[in-house]
Amino acid sequence: MTAAVTHDPPPGAAGLPDRPLIVTEDAELLDDLLRLCAAAGATPEVHHGVPEHGDGWQSAPLVLVGDDAARRVGGAPRRRGVVLVGRDQDDPGVWKRAVEIGADHVLMLPDGERWLVDRIADVAEGVGRPALTVGVVGGRGGAGASTLACALAVTSAREGVRTLLVDADPLGGGLDVLLGGESADGLRWPAFAASRGRVGGGALEESLPELHSLRVLSWDRGDCVAIPPQAVRAVLAAARRRGGTVVVDLPRRLDDGVAEALAQLDLALLVVPADLRAVAAAGRVASAVGMVVRDLRVAVRGPYAPGLDDREVARLLGLPLAGEVPVEPPLLRPQGGANPPGTTGRGPLARFCANFWERALVEAGGTR
């Protein structure tokens, strides 16, 4: 059981020491808290009361106070990020003691173990602002969604932003191939199929292939074509906790795994060629995606059929217009001097991507 008392979590955890403080003399409780810290990848500092040097109490990003120690810390300065941990769920006095020490939360073991592991892991990872997460989906087959997703990710990385490109389409041929890195070392989606609960953001990032200054989560050449939705949720949540930007290349079909990916998005771009059949097909995709994604915008790709322009396509679909995706020669894997999408930083596609990120970051409240 966990319950909030009065305060918000401490802000700016990314700039604080990553050692939580444990205050207890209860040996059994201490063993449990040390075990949970180990599961979260954190090494705590342990005291029987408020540390003699008061700055330890103030500077720790998270303070876990055993119920046995509540009276001993009652005179400590008030601060955020204090959790009162106990075992007796039937003790009504625990709420009074929590208020007396200014605790943010009351947590009872063993019920609250998963919540506490997540909270400690946030401290260990230095969680700050989550990544701006953008999905790209084609309004019909061959719309150029994968090309745009790669170009957006490469452009973000070229600007020095931590960037992860996620291939959520197992039948798309692999974004690592599009980036010329099909043989690069690192894990692919099937390695995460058994993931449940919390995945470490740092460990995820380090395990993936690095191509063009960004990390790529793609598919291998095996038979696996579906990842359980719990694994999709865990992996994308870990990616978002690292900050920066995450770009997700999405299939046009909607299954449970894709729905989990859509639920993690801040916004999605629907790439629609400017002809009537493509607009009709895109309308069906928009209806499905729009049930999950709060912010869905249309990116129109020419050439235009008679009577159509980018604004008319957006009007027909009833979606905000993200802009016109420039037409460039086909961009395939590097061969014969060709470059993956967006790598040169020149040309109309690169300019479209740079302008998109500039607008999106401003809307999201600044740099990531």
- Strand pairing class (163-167; 214-217): parallel
Exposure class string for 128-167: b at 16+ Cβ within 10 A, else e: eebbbbbbbbbbbeebbbbbbbbbbbbbbbbbebbbbbbb
For residue 114, how many C-alpha atoms fall within 13 Å in the half-sphere facing its CB? 6
User: How many residues are there in the chain?
Assistant: 368
Three-class DSSP category at 159: coil
Separation CA 49–CA 167 (nearest Å): 49
Separation CA 236–CA 204 (nearest Å): 10
Separation CA 34–CA 218 (nearest Å): 36
- One digit per residue, the tens of pLDDT, for the chain of length 368 reads 544 443 333 434 344 446 899 999 999 999 999 999 988 878 999 999 998 775 689 989 999 999 999 999 998 999 999 999 999 888 989 999 999 999 999 999 999 998 898 888 878 776 668 899 999 999 999 999 999 999 999 999 999 999 999 999 998 889 999 898 999 999 999 999 988 777 888 889 999 999 999 999 999 988 888 899 999 999 998 899 889 999 999 999 889 999 999 999 999 999 999 999 999 999 999 999 999 998 999 999 988 999 899 999 999 999 999 999 987 765 434 443 457 777 777 888 999 999 999 999 888 876 55
- Strand pairing class (105-108; 2-4): antiparallel
Kindly give, in sequence order, each residue whose CB lies less than 8 Å from that of residue 256, ignoring residues fewer than 6 positions away: 229
Residue that is written with structure tokens 């075990």 in the block: 35
In 3D space, the residue among 318, 321, 263 whose CA is nearest the CA of residue 294 turns out to be 263
Cis before 51? omega within 30: no
Domains, the chain, with CATH or none: 21-125 (3.40.50.2300), 132-364 (3.40.50.300)
Q: Taking a C-beta distance cutoff of 8 angstroms, is the pair 354, 155 a contact? A: yes
Record the tokens describing residue 366, joined without a space: 């600044």
pTM value is 0.74
Strand order in the sheet with 296-301: 210-211, 214-217, 163-167, 245-250, 132-138, 267-273, 296-301, 321-325
Separation CA 367–CA 355 (nearest Å): 14
Q: Taking a C-beta distance cutoff of 8 angstroms, is the pair 154, 341 a contact? A: yes
